Amino acid sequence: MQASSSSQVRLVVMAGDGIGPEITAATLDVVRAADRIYKLGLSFTPVTIGIAALDVQGTTLPDAAAEAAKTADGVILGPVDHNAYPPVAQGGLNPSGELRKRLDLFANIRPARSRGGFPSRCGAPVDLVIARENTEGFYADRSMFLGSGEFMPTADLALSVRKVTRAGSTRIAEAGFALARRRRKKVTAVHKANVLRVSDGLFLECVRAVAARFPDVTYEERIIDAMAALLVRDASVFDVLVTTNMFGDILSDLASEISGSLGLAASLNAGAEHALAQAQHGSAPDIAGQDRANPASLIGSAAMLLAWLGERRGADRLTRAAGAIEDALDHAIANPQWRTRDLGGPLGTKAFGERVALLVDEVATAR
């Protein structure tokens, strides 16, 4: 039965820069297929951000765009080329960082999973998730109430401020342990407390306190540099990694590439009230407009968004749709003839999205 208007799911779509419009269009092909099959009641509102918005409105994130994201049920965000933006004073806001702050998307959930037929790059198949704190840390746009967290007192001295709070550390730990309880029940806290004794000391204090509330979950700690080496040695032994912003950003790219390819790496930015699907990779302006980009990362991120919405709403159809998209991605990646060129296949961006959309239908029929 068609979803009623009262259960409509309103999604804001921000295509972004570079390859963003191409992979967003491919992602929407897949999500619309899931919407049609599972009667999800999705509506899509396109909102312009990035360089296109800067050219017309003088800012890369207009106030109306941020407000649209705040009032939507979820956001699909294409990659942004913020390194090419002008200074903030000239309208060059980073939409990704700004939305994480304004919507309080404190948890960046980044799975790294090997897919059948496409082996991991270092030994055994990988299935781990990184729970990355998303609103503080060393990121200069997220560490100060007013002004930048990076500054130069003199022409020869640059300083960067790291922000670690008890509230921020506690809630990302809670998210990580809750996730582990649904998986293989193991959490690894990643830190550099041997050097950053105060800030990472506070982080570990908070994670340990949360760990005490989850006695059924195995807990361990690893120093960041050792963790990088251990992922290369055997990432298969890890389940959920909980860490601060910058460490999580770096480790998630490493883990995703080890598991198969960064081009397959999904990512969800989630908070208590809002969630935003976003590919792990960047805007790749060098291949923009050439139908060469792999949209799998954003497709997988959209599936994560549907799963998040399904859990919040208790809506089984959303959960099943998310699972069907994931299974369709598995099927596409397992077949060399259905892969994109970066994975050794023949398909372009549009054709890959169309293939995955067809596979969603096949998966749903087989269930």
Residues with a known catalytic role: 139, 192, 225, 249, 253
Amino acid in the structure at residue 223: I
User: What is d(CA 135, CA 80) in angstroms, rounded to the nearest whole number?
Assistant: 18
Provide the angle, in degrees to the nearest 10, between the axes of the packed helices 20-38 and 349-366: 20
Q: Which helix (H) or strand (E) holds 51?
A: helix 50-57
What radius of gyration do the chain's Cα atoms show? 20
User: What is d(CA 44, CA 302) in angstroms, rounded to the nearest whole number?
Assistant: 13
Place of tokens 């001295």: 157
Question: Within 10 A of 262 (CB to CB), how many other CB atoms are there?
Answer: 21
Of the candidates 194, 178, 304, 176, the residue with the CA atom closest to the CA atom of residue 244: 176
Residues forming beta bridges with residue 277, ordered by sequence position: 76, 268
| Cα torsion 130, 134, 139, 144: sign | negative
Q: Encoding tokens for residue 256?
A: 């995703």
Of the candidates 355, 351, 359, 356, the residue with the CA atom closest to the CA atom of residue 22: 351
